[in-house]
A and B are shown apart, each in its own frame.
Chain A
Amino acid sequence: MHPVLVTIVKRLLLGVVTLFVVSAIIFSSISLLPGDFGEAVLGQAATEDTVAAFRKELGLDKPAPARYLDWVKSVAKGDLGTSFSGRSASGQDRSRSVAEMIAPRLKNTLFLASVTALIAVPLALFLGLTAALYRNSWYDRSVNVTTLTTISMPEFFVAYVLILIFASLWKVFPSLATVDIDMAMGERLNRIALPAITLTLVIVAHMMRMTRAAIINLLASPYIEMARLKGASRSEVILKHALPNAWAPIATVIAFNLAYLVVGVVVVEVVFVYPGIGQLMVDSVSSRDIPVVQACALIFAGTYILLNLIADVIGIVTNPRLLHPR
């Protein structure tokens, strides 16, 4: 087998193992709950029988490894369990299934994330390339200072400054990003403009700086000097000679930053009251609705692991040293 394939298969297996260990950790968190949490969920008036039935439904009477296997099986079937909310002391059960709660919100979050990625990635590449091209000019410096500042700012600060300027003082965009399914596309885009801009500002900075660093690093290579010596123009050197070799680091940077988007989306969704799974997760943490928290954490962690995996695989595949071993 080709050595690159071996490396990729190894990396994929490692990813699968990580995913299982991570799911086991997230799952075992429910075992850490204090003994009286049944009462906390069902209310003070819950009878012994109701609490016992509730514990049995969660499978707390079975040993932990057996419970984990059951859980993995049902997750694989798309059944993420039932929410803790909507249960009452009398044993009446109005709770909803977690999958049903998450599905529409997951779509919303993916929509926001993909719109952000569509704006942020080309913008970051353009800024990084031009900053590398006109290195040490006023343009490069001002782009650098601006991005350094946005990196250090908390997401909610950026978000509220944008709300203050674009929603409160100068009413261009709505400050609340409430969307629903039957809204027209244009209206939806208008609603999510501010959250998407916030997320873009946060991740463009990293991507742009790392693109610039990757290109500048390459410009020090002998073959670039050769290209210059034979009289190629500046943009030709960058676009034709440097860029093809910079794709690997740039792709890695993009994947890592999209993974970072996973975390950023939580805070931004709360600021703009956007009905995505980040907001659902925070609400469930406050109300201690553990099954929902677990499901959301699993989705976030899974996406994060997957994106990092893709980044690594791209890094392996595009590495000339690995592709042409001696």
Chain B
Amino acid sequence: MTDSTDLPEGYSASAEVGALRQRRSRAERSWLALKKAPLSAWFGMIVVAGYVFVALFAPWLAPYGEAQIFATPFAPWDETHRFGTDQIGRDILTRLIYGARNTMGIALVTTLLSFLIGGGLGLVAAINRSWLDQFLSRAVDVLMAIPSLIFALVLLSIFKPSVVSLILIIAVLDSTRVFRLTRAVAINVAVMDYVEVARLRGEKLGWVMKNEILPNIMPPLVAEFGLRFSFVFLTIAALSFLGVGIQPPTADWGSMVRDNASLIQFAQYDLKAGITPLLPAAAIGLLTVAVNFVVDWFLHKTSGLRDEQ
């Protein structure tokens, strides 16, 4: 047997194979996924990023102060007021920019809170499966039997409309849906052997929830977060539009539509004025569409879930 010496000193075949199989870092993997994202997902992400940017830097972007009042109410579009002024003479563009911050901020806090309540209880119910699970599931069934907008209206007639009561009411009502989903997906994971092992090892309920179950149910929860956010966002906008949600002088898109709605009657004389009340409504619609596009793509990616076909 002759010893072939073509190979460099210290070569090992397993090292070469190992080098090829080196795992890509999380950032590299996300970038690869992003590059393959369809046009609609890119559109959605860019729009969402734009909204977040406007919301974060509102005080620097807005030409005037949030509640600054000018002499002419319902002023037409011109250089000083890009989109005119509203019924008491506040700059529409400024209110739109601050509205991004208020409307989105409140919707985000509400969604986070509803995930904290619904997700936490859902996990507990899925692991423990005792009377607590029964009780929570039946309570959620009843709460979901009332349309949430109607229930929110009843509660808002009792507690005075304020940002805090609005956030609490919507978060509790919305947490029922989060509870349902979390419980449903967590139950499938909770019967896995590794969860059993962790419990036998004597880990506490909280530890099992956080380290064994939560990482395995993340993708559907993240997608649900996007959907719930747009739903909460629409509900808050609708309540504000009805005049029982976010109260003045806080700038918010729902109440802006309501306040400027009368301008629509003048569309035939000045089309720009007629469009003014539609701007905040379009801002609401565009964000919802964008979030839906991103969630759609994310669901495709993580679960291979395709709608029909």
Which residues of chain A have a CB within 8 Å of any CB of chain B? 18, 21-22, 25-26, 29-30, 32-33, 148-149, 152-157, 160-161, 163-164, 168-169, 175, 212-213, 216-217, 259, 262-263, 266-267, 270-271, 281-282, 284-286, 288-290, 293-294, 296-297, 300-301, 304-305, 308
Contact = CB atoms under 8 A, between A and B. Distances in A.
A213 B146 contact: no
Given A25-B142, A270-B242, A169 B267 contact: yes
Contact of B157 (A18, A267, A284): A284
Contacts of A32: 158-159
A304 B147 contact: yes
B150 interface: yes
Interface of A is mostly: helix
Interface stretch (B17-25, B61-69, B272-280): B272-280
A188 to B, nearest CB: 22
Instruction: Please provide the 10 A-B residue pairs with the shortest distance between their CB atoms, ordered closest to farther.
Output: A157-B281, A168-B267, A285-B157, A152-B288, A153-B285, A152-B289, A293-B157, A300-B150, A263-B147, A301-B146
B166 interface: no
Given A301-B147, A305-B145, 7 more contacts: A154-B284, A156-B281, A164-B278, A266-B149, A282-B242, A282-B244, A297-B151
A26 to B, nearest CB: 6
B193 interface: no
Contacts of B271: 169
Interface string B52-84: 000000000000000000000000000000000
A155 B151 CA distance: 19
B28 interface: no
A161 B142 contact: no
Interface string B215-247: 000000000000000100010011001111000
| B141, B145, B257, B289 pick with most chain A CB within 10 angstroms | B145
B3 interface: no
B282 interface: yes
A263 B147 CA distance: 7
20 contacts: A18-B142, A29-B155, A29-B157, A32-B159, A152-B289, A160-B261, A160-B278, A163-B264, A164-B278, A168-B264, A216-B308, A263-B147, A263-B150, A281-B153, A284-B157, A285-B157, A297-B146, A297-B154, A301-B151, A304-B145
A300 B153 CA distance: 12
B268 interface: yes
B108 interface: no
A137 to B, nearest CB: 14
Contacts of B278: 157, 160-161, 164
| B141, B234, B242 pick with most chain A CB within 10 angstroms | B242
